[in-house]
Amino acid sequence: MTIELPDVKIGSQPLTSEQARIELAIGMYAGRRATMGQAAKIAGISYTAFMHELGKHGVCLNYSMEDALQDIETVRRRLGK
């Protein structure tokens, strides 16, 4: 899906279409409607850049205990233990 957004000024702050995509992606990630990878694609930026955007906006990572246990199991499998 493609959404065209014109650059607009909200109050005294300009909002570019790039910034609007990032804001949308952050909202979808924070609302658990998109994974971090999906949200980065929506924002049109790299995974790492999206993580930095989350930090700038004060949004915590959606990382549960189940995620941590899966990551530990993956590392164990790769190390052959």
| b/e code 25-56 from CB counts within 10 Å (16+ = b) | bbebbbeeebebeebbbbbebeeeebeebbee
Computed over every residue of the chain, the mean pLDDT equals 87
Instruction: Summarize pLDDT for 36-70 with one digit per residue, the tens.
Output: 899 999 999 999 999 999 999 999 888 888 888 98
Q: How far is residue 80's CA from residue 22's CA, in Å, rounded to a whole number? A: 39
**Would you state the pLDDT for residue 3?**
65
24, with CB counted inside 10 A (0-12, 13-18, 19+), is middle
**Would you state the pLDDT for residue 6?**
66
